[in-house]
Each structure stands twice: as structure tokens, then as C-alpha cells.
Amino acid sequence: MIKKLHDIGLRSEHAYTAAVASIGLSVFTWAASLRAEPGTGLDRADRWGIFVGEWAPTLFCLGLALSHYEQEEGSLMGKAHADGERRRQMASAP
């Protein structure tokens, strides 16, 4: 799944940014629900805030998984480059 997300262009920075934004969105939805529905009380506003607030840990975990994948892919690319360079040098040696 992480490879698929990476292949379609999602990077760890995107997931981290979305996680931080969801924290702000959580506070915003709590305040908006509290003002928009004063008759329903604090319970409903709290539920909205908590619902959106639960996105942040998921997005942080996704960012971490993508970060590990990106580092692994980078090390594999570096190894492939080094192997190719070594083969090229051996082929050109007299």
C-alpha cells in the first residue's frame, strides 16, 4: 500500500502537513460546532473535535511509513548506482 501511495506521488511531507492541518481543523470544527449548535451542548462539539483529531495520528503514521519507504528506496538506488559504477570501471580497465 505504501509503495502504491508513493507511486501516485504522495510523499512523507504531504502526510505530515496533512496531520498538522488536521490538528488545526480539529480545533476549528470544535469551535464551529459549539457556535453553530448552541442548543446541543458541549458534547456534540467535543465529538466533532475528537473525530477530526483522530486523523492526526493516522496521518503521522502514514508519513512515517512513507519516510521509511523513501529512505529504503534511496539506499537501494544508491547501491544500484554504486554497483553500476563499479561494473563500468571494471569494464573499462585494461
34-38, 57-61, 66-70, 73-77, range with the lowest pLDDT = 73-77
User: Residue 75: pLDDT band by 50, 70, 90 thresholds?
Assistant: low
Report, as an integer, the average pLDDT of 86-93: 65
In the structure grid, which three cell numbers stand for residue 73, read together?
A: 528506496
Angle between helices 42-53 and 12-36 (to 10 degrees): 170
Domain boundaries, the chain: 2-92
How large a percentage of the chain has pLDDT more than 90? Answer: 36
Q: Is the pLDDT of residue 15 over 90?
A: yes
27-31, 40-44, 56-60, range with the lowest pLDDT = 40-44
All residues at 6 or more sequence positions from 64 whose CB lies less than 8 Å from its CB, including other chains = 12
